[in-house]
Amino acid sequence: MSVSVLNTCFDAVSSIREGSTVLIGGFGEAGSPVELIHALIDHGVRDLTVVNNNAGNGEVGLAALIKNRQVRKMICSFPKSSRSTVFEQLYRSGSIELELVPQGTLAERIRAGGAGIPAFFTATSIGTQLAIGKESRRFKDSRDYVLEFGIQADVALIKCATADEKGNLTFNKTARNFNPIMCTAALETIVQASEIVKAGEIDPECVITPGVFVNKLVHVPSPVSESQLIEDGISYP
Amino acid sequence: MNISTVSRSGWTREQIAEQVAGDIADGSYVNLGIGMPEMVSKFVPNGREFIYHTENGLLGMGGTPKAGAVDLDLINAGKKPVTIVPGASFFHHADSFAMVRGGHIDVCVLGAMQVAENGDLANWSTGEPDAIPAVGGAMDLVAGVKTVYVMTQHVTKDERFKLVEYCSYPLTGSGVVDRVYTNLAVIDVTDRGFMLNRLAPGVTYEEVCEATGAKVHIGKTEGINTNA
């Protein structure tokens, strides 16, 4: 189905249901779709499983979603930062689940999920705690590999720099990170774009995410900076 | 010298970084861990160029931006603002880790809590029950990068061994470390275990042995202080 352009972030996320698995793009604040996350807080659905590299900062964006008790489980590689107190408190009190995944395995699980690959073997984590209970197999090179499963989600929340009306996306520098692969791995991909241009205005040679992976677009012309919000002492809502 | 003076002996942190940089070939694709390993980039020998990879999707990473030139969309794996050098490229996370896991990155330099004589590395968790576990890309780097260097003080701040027979902390990878750079010495991980490669100025082989929780073997170059 072709892409639809919605007027508000709230409209874009209003179809997200209780108990959904939600991929949220970004690495720290770079590429984090803060406006879409705040709309998801306004929407209020709970019992979510969220996939992100981290677990939020301060009390805005992903951290605010967690603080609002909408997240049952985090799947991430690094839930720690100097300002990740919301997650840490809930985790220590047993109020949120954590599935810790090595960063490359997390990326590959998302890529595989988006490519229709149910599982794959990787050398990452072999011989460590994170491989306990997982199937392993020795291949021709005499190394052991761990079986990991692809991630297929209900929804992806994505931030991009420029989108065209067909849903083709480009990103800004290292704000690309998990966003393109997450676009591929969800039943519904919702994108906030700083700029939306007419079809044909993005050089097809320069498209990073082809529109087939995108379902909904919202124009967010001047996205907030998470660190600025934190510096200003803002917490959401 | 007893173990309590070990942490103040030998190379400074900068000099350890210089030792590491001197051992990396021109043109190498290099991933530097957060913290002490980042200092390696300050000691690239004249005439050599390293191309820095950062896990969050950049090859050709440059140094810290000037004040006023910070771009929050241009950061490194430690989420600190960085710059790019001519010839840099951006890519998504699966491509970034295909570089790591597919053996396309030549060298990574990581910190360590413990290194065992068989090359086991522990650098992500103390395993304490109230610790927030966080692994990032460390397990991917040690599993896939061609050469894994560790850069660390020889003993902990409270004077416990970091180079050991077996790691007591949770492993990052098993049998993955190629070489350890400390304030006292450069030590290779070999089939026989730890093998002295070179000593810091003013440090003796006996002192290294005393500060190491496993046997340190010596080869043909034993006792030669290559940096005196």
- pLDDT tens digits for range B38-91: 999 999 999 999 999 999 999 999 999 999 999 999 999 999 999 999 999 999
**B199-213, pLDDT tens digit by residue?**
999 999 999 999 999
- Calpha distance A210→A230 (Å, rounded): 34
A191 alpha carbon, distance to own chain's centre = 11
Is there a contact between B100 and B59 (Cβ–Cβ < 8 Å)?
no
| Other beta carbons within 10 Å of B127 | 13
Contact at CB, B134 and A80, closer than 8 angstroms: yes
pLDDT band at B8 (very low <50, low <70, confident <90, very high): confident
Tokens matching residue B107: 């060298």
- Calpha distance B217→B205 (Å, rounded): 10
What value does the mean pLDDT take over residues A221-225? 96
- When scoring B75, B82, B90, B92 by the number of chain A Cβ atoms within 10 A, the one with the most, hence best to mutate, is B92
- Calpha distance A68→A50 (Å, rounded): 13
**A26-57, pLDDT tens digit by residue?**
999 999 999 999 999 999 999 999 999 999 99
pLDDT band at A83 (very low <50, low <70, confident <90, very high): confident
ipTM surpasses cut 0.85: yes
Instruction: Give the per-residue pLDDT at A84.
Output: 85
Residues 6+ apart with CB under 8 A from A38: A9, A60, A61, A64, A236, A237
Is there a contact between A158 and A190 (Cβ–Cβ < 8 Å)?
yes
pLDDT at residue B226 tops 50:
no
- When scoring A77, A111, A117, A173 by the number of chain B Cβ atoms within 10 A, the one with the most, hence best to mutate, is A173
Which chain A residues touch B75 with a CB distance below 8 Å? Answer: 27-28, 30, 174
- Cα diameter, chain A: 56
What value does the mean pLDDT take over residues A152-181? 98
Name the nearest CA neighbour of A159 among A48, A69, A41, A37: A37
Contact at CB, A77 and B93, closer than 8 angstroms: no
Tokens matching residue B22: 């001197």
Residue with tokens 């929780």: B213
Contact at CB, A173 and B74, closer than 8 angstroms: yes
Q: What class is the A4-117+152-231 domain?
A: alpha beta
CATH superfamily of B3-217: Glutaconate Coenzyme A-transferase (3.40.1080.10)
Contact at CB, B139 and A125, closer than 8 angstroms: yes
**DSSP for B170-225, written as a single string:** PPSBSS---EEE-SSEEEEEETTEEEEEEE-TT--HHHHHHT-BS-EE--TTTT--
Contact A177/B at CB under 8 A = yes
Instruction: Give the per-residue pLDDT at B1.
Output: 53
Instruction: Give the per-residue pLDDT at A148.
Output: 98
- When scoring B139, B142, B176 by the number of chain A Cβ atoms within 10 A, the one with the most, hence best to mutate, is B139
Which chain A residues touch B90 with a CB distance below 8 Å? Answer: 171, 173-174, 176
pLDDT at residue B5 tops 90:
no
Ranges of each domain in chain A? 4-117+152-231
Contact at CB, A108 and B134, closer than 8 angstroms: no
> Who among B73, B96, B143 is closest to A123 (CB)?
B143
Contact at CB, B73 and A100, closer than 8 angstroms: no
pLDDT band at A81 (very low <50, low <70, confident <90, very high): confident
pLDDT at residue A119 tops 60:
yes
Instruction: Give the per-residue pLDDT at A73.
Output: 98
Is there a contact between B173 and A127 (Cβ–Cβ < 8 Å)?
yes
The string over B159-172, giving b where at least 16 C-beta atoms fall within 10 Å of a residue's C-beta and e elsewhere, is eebbbbeebebbbb
**B81-105, pLDDT tens digit by residue?**
999 999 999 999 999 999 999 999 9
pLDDT band at B2 (very low <50, low <70, confident <90, very high): low
Higher pLDDT, B5 or B140: B140
Supply the residues of B annotated as catalytic: 55
Ranges of each domain in chain B? 3-217
Instruction: Give the per-residue pLDDT at B220.
Output: 61
pLDDT band at B158 (very low <50, low <70, confident <90, very high): very high
Instruction: Give the per-residue pLDDT at B7.
Output: 67
pLDDT band at B223 (very low <50, low <70, confident <90, very high): very low
pLDDT at residue B227 tops 50:
no
CB pairs < 8 Å spanning A and B? 142
Mean predicted lDDT score pLDDT of chain B: 93
